[in-house]
Amino acid sequence: MLGERAAFPLAAQLRDSGAPLGDVFSFLSGLYFRGKLAYGRAFARTGAPRMGCSSSRRVADWSPGRDLTLGDLRGIAEIGVTPDEPRFREPLERDPRRWRLCFRETTGSSCSEHRDGEVCRRHRESLGGRLRFPADFVGRGDMSRGGLMLRCVLKKQELDYVPTAGATRHGTRPPRLEPLR
């Protein structure tokens, strides 16, 4: 996608005029991000805060529909995904309440608790006992979680959530998902 000679339509759009962040990340990360994006759109609660583009141009503030340029993507690629990297950590710590679409409170919507352990620990502390995650994620890798979320969207059935406090978050691998037809 970053190559000058990449000729497929999304790469050309990214180079020419920019492409929606959701489309770019779905291409780059495949099934997991597609599942996460579809699930978030399907089960978002009306009235919940939307994450729009901020004047600070921080990626954490961009909505999936925001156009991403090739320069934006190259800038994102320079950021390390570790708790020690301030450009990764600080947007997550800045205001956890803005993440209601990702961190389910008892009446909010959700996707997954997919953060580094240290960052996740900080969110658990800042949100008290309200941080929840899908119990069906235990033992699943990214691809399996993405597939599970897509199946939930097709069935119009939201996952069940449990509080992270005291929950088993790692476990044995569940059976493979049935193929979609």
Per-residue pLDDT tens over the stretch 144-179: 999 999 999 999 999 998 887 777 777 889 999 998
**3-state secondary structure at position 37:** helix
How deeply is 103 buried, as exposed, middle or buried, from its count of CB atoms within 10 A (0-12, 13-18, 19+)?
buried
Q: Residue 23: pLDDT above 80?
A: yes
What are the structural domain ranges in the chain? Answer: 9-163
Per-residue pLDDT tens over the stretch 104-153: 333 333 433 443 344 455 555 656 566 778 889 999 988 999 999 999 99
Per-residue pLDDT tens over the stretch 24-74: 999 988 888 899 899 988 988 654 444 333 333 455 567 888 999 999 998
Per-residue pLDDT tens over the stretch 68-89: 999 999 888 888 888 788 888 7
For residues 91 and 60, the answer to whether their CB atoms sit within 8 Å is yes
